[in-house]
Structure 1
Amino acid sequence: MPFKKLHPHIKERLEYLEIITPTPLQRNSIPVIKSGVNVYCLAPKDSGKTTTLILTTMQKLKCEAVGNAPRAVVLVENKEKALELYETFLTFTKYNSLRVYVGHEQLHIDVQKSEIFEGIDILISTPKTMNKLFLLNGVSTSQLKILSVDDAEFLSQQSDYAAIMSITQSIDRCQYVLYSEKMQSKLKRFESYFMEYSKIVTA
């Protein structure tokens, strides 16, 4: 079954990248994520979690730049993962107007604040950097539609757990999608906070 009901630009890029058939996880998760509910996507490595994250983020933002404040945030464990995901995003956002920005601990926070202020659509960051930006009024979440976490297992580390709890308490309303190989007790605990009424999707 080919990818259906996705933005024409996404379908065009998938075709160009020769990604024709969705993985079982993509088939199961994309319609659920598109519905707007909070979702735990649980599947083994190499089952298409990161591509799902990118496609659903682009779909949510309708593949076009709007305003200045980020409308999507993607949290990852560290600088290496942030840069890797940024490069992957660019292969999909090429030829549309979406502006993707990557932040991490090694990049001075004032630089990040001024660059984000110029206007972005998708912010890729680590929880600690995102929280620091938040506390310094370096990023607005007033337009935020979706917050995703790639390979969310790292949130079991106390500093990252505390950072995401702080971030989510300051966000009025948005959709949350967590991608992980399996459900961990700390991830499950988020159901009592920002992952209320969430659905679990597996491959």
Structure 2
Amino acid sequence: MAFKKLIQPLKDSLENKGFNEPLPFQKLVLSKIKGGASLFCIAPMGAGKTTSMVLSVIHKLKGRAFEDAPRALIFVKNKQAALQLELEFNAFLRGTDLRVYCAYDELDIDRQRDAIYEGVDIVIATPKRLNKIFFLNGINLNKLQICMVEDAEFLFRDHNLAEVTRTPESIGKCQYVIFSSAYDKRFDRWRDSFMYNAQIVKMN
């Protein structure tokens, strides 16, 4: 998909940054995500996975805040990854009013619950903290449109796979997009449960 098909604020941000054409991997995945497909996006570092994620979410949400419940959820491995991804989003939010919030273990959970309750559009979270907030009735996932995982290799450490697998059990229809440098056979269980007909898009 060409950048010209994105919403205007994204086109303006990309132009200001000097990005005129998507990278080959971005051409492969942006149109598929835009079309609503659930995907495993497999590519090496430097292929443009993170930017693809940011552009896709902002475009899907039309760059506009809406009500209080989050419509996009992105799982990351730790606090550093959450804050770095927040910076990536902030670089493309000009001209939108989307609200991004990070939830990770080091912050006071009551403060996090209150901040999410006040209204957010995009939540970037570590799996364990997201589930703690959810079980405290601190986040409404009923409006979720897209759920993503960044650098999914971390899922196979410290029970993160089980933590993330819990989330689809609590929500209805949703698009799932998993970004990783390799496909792991353990993902087959997701394809048999909540990621029906998910496509694998791979670039070496």
Structure 1 equivalent of residue 53 of structure 2: 53
Instruction: Tell me which residue corresponds to 1:101.
Output: 101
CA apart distance, 1:189: 2.5
User: Any gaps of 5 or more consecutive residues in structure 2?
Assistant: none
How far is the alpha carbon of 1:193 from its aligned partner? 1.9
Aligned length: 203
- TM (normalized to structure 2)? 0.96
Distance 1:162 1:2, change over 3 A: closer
- 2:162 is aligned to 162
After TM superposition, the score normalised by the length of structure 1 is: 0.96
Write out per-residue CA displacement over residues 87-131 of structure 1, whole angstroms, 9 at most, x where no aligned residue.
111011123100011110001111100001111100000111111
Is residue 178 of structure 1 aligned with residue 178 of structure 2?
yes
Identity of aligned residues (%): 40
- Segments of structure 1 that go 5 or more residues without pairing to the other structure are none
Q: Aligned-pair RMSD on alpha carbons?
A: 1.2
Q: Aligned AA for 1:29? A: V
Residues 55-94 of structure 1 deviation map (CA, whole Å, 9 limit, x = unaligned): 0000110001000000001110000000010011101112
Structure 1: distance between partners of 2:23 and 2:109: 38
Range moving further from structure 2, 90-99 or 185-194: 185-194
Q: In the alignment, residue 36 of structure 1 is paired with which amino acid? A: G
> Which letter does structure 1 place at the counterpart of 2:143?
Q
1:15-54 aligned within 5 A: 15-54=15-54
Is contact 1:71–1:122 with CA below 8 Å preserved after alignment? yes
Letter in 2 for 1:130: L
4+ residue runs of structure 1 moved beyond 2 angstroms? none
Cα distance in 2 for residues equivalent to 1:106 and 1:201: 34
Q: Does 1:190 align with 2:190?
A: yes
Deviation at 1:202, TM superposition (A): 2.1
Amino acid at match of 1:40: F
Structure-to-structure mapping, 1:72-111, within 5 angstroms = 72-111=72-111
